[in-house]
Amino acid sequence: MTRKQLIVGNWKMHGSHTANAELLAGIVGARPYLADVAVCVPFPYLSEAAIALAATDIRWGAQDCSAHEQGAYTGEVSASMLAECGCRYAIVGHSERRAYHAESDQVVADKAKAALARGVTPIVCVGETLAQRDAGETEDVVKRQLSAVIHALAHCASEIVVAYEPVWAIGTGRTATPEQAQHVHHLLRAQLQAATGRGEQMKILYGGSVKPDNAATLFAQPDIDGGLIGGASLKAADFVAICRAAG
Ligand code: PEP
């Protein structure tokens, strides 16, 4: 089965009006891409991403989404607000949010559900820490994280995008080998297939120190459907090269 690949830039907490304009112009100017391409930007920059990308086939999204619909949740941003800003995607359960904001599997599942209810596709991140990998717990950890989301979404679970992001590979310059990544992607796809019957159609992205020089080998793996790109999504030339490595 051939799945169209997807490359998503995660800008994290980086950017400025000047830097964003240059970066977006670089990404737009290098079209067309064979893969689908999107950028997940900080909330204050969603409107400018929407303006810069509206007439293109490049999508934009957010890096988080509240589990709540509306109300007294100071600092949170709801899925309906993201939908109003034209967001196609919202990253949920990024390891930085799990670690620094104590997001549990259940909170991540609730966020994914809230996003989907408003037509925003959640990019659900799963991944093990180095200690968990060394303890042989990788499979249990990623299956548990994904299972919470599958359980919460029930028949809608096939609508999500999954990103396997080993925590030890994020921002460290240490990439999972294509074989290590493929092994976990294969497991996740089997889990998705068993739960939804549509696992073969679903996209599973790899994230963790993807760079222009390692992207093609990772994306050539049969169960890797593109990437979630952090640091390398901040330089147009690097991000464009990664997008071109996908198809
Ligand atoms: C990420 O933040 O999702 C990520 C994969 O970061 P990096 O590419 O910098 O490792």
Is 15 close to ligand 1, i.e. is its CB under 6 Å away?
A: no
- Kindly give the distance from the C-alpha atom of residue 2 to the centroid of ligand 1, in angstroms, as a whole number: 25
Is 209 close to ligand 1, i.e. is its CB under 6 Å away?
A: yes
- Kindly give the distance from the C-alpha atom of residue 164 to the centroid of ligand 1, in angstroms, as a whole number: 11
Query: Please, are residues 38 and 7 in contact by the beta-carbon 8 Å criterion?
Result: yes
The single residue listed with the structure tokens 């459907």 is 225
Give the amino acid at 58.
I
- Kindly give the distance from the C-alpha atom of residue 71 to the centroid of ligand 1, in angstroms, as a whole number: 32
- CA gap 224, 17 in Å, rounded: 33
- CA gap 142, 192 in Å, rounded: 12
Q: At what angle do helices 105-117 and 138-153 cross, to 10 degrees?
A: 40
Query: Please, are residues 164 and 204 in contact by the beta-carbon 8 Å criterion?
Result: yes
* Runs of H (alpha helix) within 76-211: 79-84, 95-100, 105-117, 130-134, 138-153, 178-196
Pair of tokens at residue 90: 């919202």
Pair of tokens at residue 3: 């799945």
Is 127 close to ligand 1, i.e. is its CB under 6 Å away?
A: no
Query: Please, are residues 97 and 104 in contact by the beta-carbon 8 Å criterion?
Result: no
| pLDDT tens for the chain, residues 1 to 247 | 689 999 999 999 999 999 999 999 999 999 999 999 999 999 999 999 999 999 999 999 999 999 999 999 999 999 999 999 999 999 999 999 999 999 999 999 999 999 999 999 999 999 999 999 999 999 999 999 999 999 999 989 999 999 999 999 998 988 899 999 999 999 999 999 999 999 999 999 999 999 999 999 999 999 999 999 999 999 999 999 999 999 8
Is 166 close to ligand 1, i.e. is its CB under 6 Å away?
A: no
**Nearest alpha carbon, ligand 1 atom 7:** 230
Reported pTM: 0.98
Pair of tokens at residue 239: 């991000």
Please give the positions annotated as active site.
94, 165
Is 230 close to ligand 1, i.e. is its CB under 6 Å away?
A: yes
Is 207 close to ligand 1, i.e. is its CB under 6 Å away?
A: yes
- Kindly give the distance from the C-alpha atom of residue 62 to the centroid of ligand 1, in angstroms, as a whole number: 15
Pocket test for ligand 1, best of 10, 41, 130 (most atoms within 8 A of CB): 10
Q: How far is CA 205 from the centre of its chain?
A: 7
Cα 184-221-29 angle, rounded to 5 deg = 115
- CA gap 6, 110 in Å, rounded: 24
- CA gap 184, 162 in Å, rounded: 12
- CA gap 229, 42 in Å, rounded: 15
Pair of tokens at residue 157: 């679970």
